[in-house]
Structure 1
Amino acid sequence: MPEAFAFVSACANHPNKPANADRFLIRSHVMAGRNKSLGSRRSLREAARQAATPPKIYTTATDCGDRHALRESIETSPDSVDAKPDAGPQNVRDRNDKRSGKDFEAACLQLDRQIRTRSGVFASLDNTETACGELISELTTYNSAKHAAFPLKYTIDFDEAEDSCVPWIFSNTAFAHSVFYATSAANDFRLGRPYTRPTLIHLRRTIRSLNMQLGEDGGHLDDSTIYTIVTLAMLATLVGDLIAVRAHMVGLRRIIELRGGESFFVERPKQHFMLERLDLAWSAYSGAFPRYSCEPTDWRSAFTGPQAVSDEGGLASIVAMIVDARLSTVFQDFQRLTRLINAYANEDGRLKGDVFQHVLASIQRRLLWLRFSQVDGWSERLRLGMLAYLTTTFQLSGRKVSYDYLSARYRRSCQALGACTASDDMRTLKAWLLVVGAMSVLEPSEPWLGAIWHEIAGSWREWEDVQHQLESVLWTNKVQDEAGKSAYEALTF
């Protein structure tokens, strides 16, 4: 007899009504596997157990003291919000350094089931269940905003496995709230208003969930932890909350140390890029030295091969005569990198993320650690120009990000430019500084900026003429073209 069948006896006094014990047996068979929500904690735990996962990784560095330090480094105090943390699902962690094909396939199957059943995973602001469809919609908005904010996505081939964070929104409460927080905060920033109550509630819930996650064994090993903290830190820079930025940066640095230091980034160029971006934002806003990266010990070129022959006798040679030798090497590396990116883009290709990030990290660290006291000297002026150029790799629609220290220092440096030029190359370099400033850390409407521009631009009447000049200095066509054209039009108005 098949095991799926079971017999019950009929009661003599009530032939149509089974006994109590038999009714319990019937219910247990009928409801087996049915009285269960796919978005519940139990379902998520079962899905995680079904996915192939490696054994836990233990290290002597992850003792209670370290976990406590990590939690303290993330802690902030948005006490103005009176909201209780929700009872979200238990975090399900993938301890792999990178999600394997089987794991991701299992997560996608789980995602497909949840889409069809529209089961919620955590409470929304009014403590009602958030539908799966709403989560997917929010994640789509988040991804669209993220790609728009980092335009290098379309010219650099970052490892697509690092984009496999879709299942996190269903299994990781901190990450899910960080997505809601990011979209709400970005909208507040775009509209030029302080954080609204929904934004602050999601911020508070993100921090609470993140601290709970870091308090668990191996919580720092979850890649979603880094993404969540980076999101918090990047958004804190938008509103100039340096205390929060400092706390997040300390936490990130400690997590990276626990996960192997620099070796952690070998297969994670995108995460490396995001963390370097935080260093740039921190220094550009406060003027402080980087909090994440260490002072460079090697000032040589990041490229192992010789410089291109075409650079000899050109703008790079002139720059070498007027700036510090270390900065001249950085400038040549930057020129070579942008031309390499453009060469791939012209063939409808993308530069490999690990190659790009290795060179970019070297360029940025040297720029941030080099300091020149003479603001109107060419060494400091070109250093500031390259830093301002780097800030254009992070853009938000509708408003510029305020970098107080870099803006003030760049303004002082460019105001001393003057229109007199010794050569066409120097004229081009000055024009590049003005356009980069107008599209990043300065306002094109500033009268002094337009006045100097009109004296320098001369016969350049069309954007295509100016763009050609900019490309001879530093320019990434598919990244800076739109913002550069807008800055040019504002300058020539």
Structure 2
Amino acid sequence: MSTPQGLGMPFVVSTGPAKPDPNLRKFIRRHVMIGKNLGKTRQTRRKKQKSSELRDVINPEKLLTESSDKSSLIAARHSIILPKVGSELSTIQLADAVEPSIVTTVLQFASIAKQALYPLESCILFDKSDKRQWIEPLAFDSAYLHTMIFMTHDYFNVLLHRIPCGETSPHFFKTLRILRERLLCEGDDSSKVSILTASIVLALAGHALLVKEYSSAKHHLEGLRKIINVRGGITTLKDSVKLLIEIIRCDLGMVFHCGSRPLFSDVVSWQPFPLGPEPHKIESPCNSDKVPKSLNCQLAMIWTTMGGFCSLINFTANSKNRIPKEAFLSTMASVMYGLIDMEFDIRSTNEVIRLGLLAFSSSVFLQWKQMRMSYAHFSALYKDCLMRVGFSDIPAQLQLWLLMVGAISEFGKTDYEWLKPPLRTTMNLCRIGSWTDMRHLLSTFMWIGIVHDELGKSIFDSTSVLTIA
């Protein structure tokens, strides 16, 4: 079982003598304020609404209010509240006896979760109810409450490079105890396979991945698979798209970390391909003239699908629109599971393009916005393929895309020693003299500006300096 790693964990609280962690405060403030200063009038209105929703969400009385008439609901939503989260928490009844201040970090994480975990968050239309569904169970499900406590605190530990000292371990072990009792309880079959129980098991798997305890992650994912099978299969989650997205991301994360076989690839059998704007409204998905004609037919179809998705996202970002989260799920599942299911010779052009597409897709669908995940198994696999493939059969422009995709998605600074020499050579072959040149070339294949521009330019700048020297 995965166990939280320990450390004196400073929490951001509104009360108490201890000084809060300044790095955590800056992180929370920066992401909570994203987009808030675009208009002062709207800022005031949103703040009041957030506070009202917060009190509604974590107050069990709100559940009773919803069952009464509309006038009662309106009165509750416009009730006078205290301005500080810490003060509010002191009056809230949670599902178990915990210090209210420790839940503050959970609520703070809730306010930035989508921005922190999804690079494409600004382009995806998540339901407003998603956050409420994420927070409401804190009031009535003790296993969920303790799960969220150790999950969110350990997330900030990893993000802020803090060494844990075990302060959340009691919450972790209490989660396991409550969950075990629930699963072994006679006569309560509905709670054993409920959406909430599935969410808790998924959180345990995700936490194990976060702290690099892969055998535990595998164990929890297998348990989740059994729960879903008992429910009647993956199709029973079709109305819980956000949960399904997280299940697929966790499953794919295990594949990238360890090379294990996926457990939820059957989602592809019922997920349709996404529909985007009319073709004339978006740029050409990719430059097919620069892709080898001998490319495997199935691989070529996935290349086209992913290229179309990139064009749709770039169009959406530029037009300030959003795509349905179903389109995100559909493309992620069909593209990534489809690529994982293929097999080619390690020295072949098909294999290096398959792995290049997987690397690129991981940066779009799997990576977290504020914390780049490292995938040891897949990074080694892609590096081995790049070192062994016959690049003489691949156009220089495609070679450059394959190398840059590895640099922005899989390889770290420790890989620069072997990666940058061929990267510099290929840049010279393609006559790349500026970041504008580089970005234009990459965009003719696949590239998403809001995800890849910042790191891509950084890698280009450091490589081009060495090229000039």
Q: TM-score, normalised by structure 2?
A: 0.71
Measured against aligned partners, the alpha-carbon deviations of 1:425-467 in whole angstroms (never above 9, x if no partner) come to x323222222221122212443120001101112323333222
Correspondence for 1:91: none
2:254 to 282, 289, 292: 282
Measured against aligned partners, the alpha-carbon deviations of 1:306-356 in whole angstroms (never above 9, x if no partner) come to 996999996335536232111111111111111112112211001111233
CA distance in 2, matches of 1:337, 1:303: 8
Q: CA deviation at 1:180?
A: 2.0
Matched, 1:158 2:135: no
Measured against aligned partners, the alpha-carbon deviations of 1:368-427 in whole angstroms (never above 9, x if no partner) come to 21122x2231211111112112222344577642312211110011224577576xxx32
Pair 441,111 (structure 1): closer, same or farther in 2 beyond 3 Å? farther
Matches within 5 A, 1:190-269: 190=159, 195-215=164-184, 217=188, 218-220=190-192, 222-269=194-241
Correspondence for 2:103: 135
Pair 45,152 (structure 1): closer, same or farther in 2 beyond 3 Å? closer
Bigger-Rg structure (1/2): 1
Correspondence for 2:347: 376
Q: TM-score, normalised by structure 1?
A: 0.68
Pair 273,295 (structure 1): closer, same or farther in 2 beyond 3 Å? closer
Matches within 5 A, 1:49-64: 51-52=66-67
Contact 1:284–1:406 (CA<8 Å) still a contact in 2? yes
Contact 1:301–1:330 (CA<8 Å) still a contact in 2? no
2:427 to 451, 457, 482: 457
CA distance in 2, matches of 1:471, 1:318: 12
1:148 to 116, 135, 157: 116
Matches within 5 A, 1:92-171: 116=88, 118-119=90-91, 121=93, 129-131=98-100, 134-164=102-132, 165-171=134-140
Question: Which residue type is aligned with residue 291 of structure 1?
Answer: L
Identity across matched positions, percent? 24
Correspondence for 1:69: none
Measured against aligned partners, the alpha-carbon deviations of 1:27-47 in whole angstroms (never above 9, x if no partner) come to xxxxxxxxxxxxxxxx97776
Matched, 1:437 2:421: no
Matched, 1:482 2:454: yes
Correspondence for 1:292: 264
Pair 313,389 (structure 1): closer, same or farther in 2 beyond 3 Å? closer
1:272 to 244, 251, 272: 244
C-alpha RMSD of the superposition:
4.0
Contact 2:205–2:216 (CA<8 Å) still a contact in 1? yes
CA distance in 1, matches of 2:219, 2:239: 26
Q: Secondary structure at the match of 1:387?
A: helix
Pair 307,368 (structure 1): closer, same or farther in 2 beyond 3 Å? farther
Q: Secondary structure at the match of 2:266?
A: coil
Correspondence for 2:148: 179
Correspondence for 2:298: 326
Question: Which residue type is aligned with residue 308 of structure 2?
Answer: R
Pair 251,416 (structure 1): closer, same or farther in 2 beyond 3 Å? same
Question: Which residue type is aligned with residue 455 of structure 1?
Answer: T
1:448 to 392, 400, 418: 418
Correspondence for 2:387: 415
Question: Which residue type is aligned with residue 289 of structure 1?
Answer: R
CA distance in 2, matches of 1:464, 1:203: 49
Correspondence for 1:15: none
Q: Number of residue pairs matched?
A: 395
Question: Which residue type is aligned with residue 230 of structure 1?
Answer: L
CA distance in 1, matches of 2:433, 2:71: 57
CA distance in 1, matches of 2:64, 2:193: 18
Q: Secondary structure at the match of 2:167?
A: helix
CA distance in 1, matches of 2:152, 2:206: 13
Contact 2:119–2:368 (CA<8 Å) still a contact in 1? no
Question: Which residue type is aligned with residue 439 of structure 1?
Answer: I
Q: CA deviation at 1:49?
A: 5.5
Pair 208,379 (structure 1): closer, same or farther in 2 beyond 3 Å? same
Correspondence for 2:329: 357
Unaligned stretches of 5+ residues in structure 1: 1-42, 54-100
CA distance in 1, matches of 2:123, 2:276: 22
Contact 1:450–1:492 (CA<8 Å) still a contact in 2? no
Contact 1:438–1:487 (CA<8 Å) still a contact in 2? yes
CA distance in 2, matches of 1:311, 1:482: 21
CA distance in 2, matches of 1:438, 1:344: 25
Question: Which residue type is aligned with residue 384 of structure 1?
Answer: L
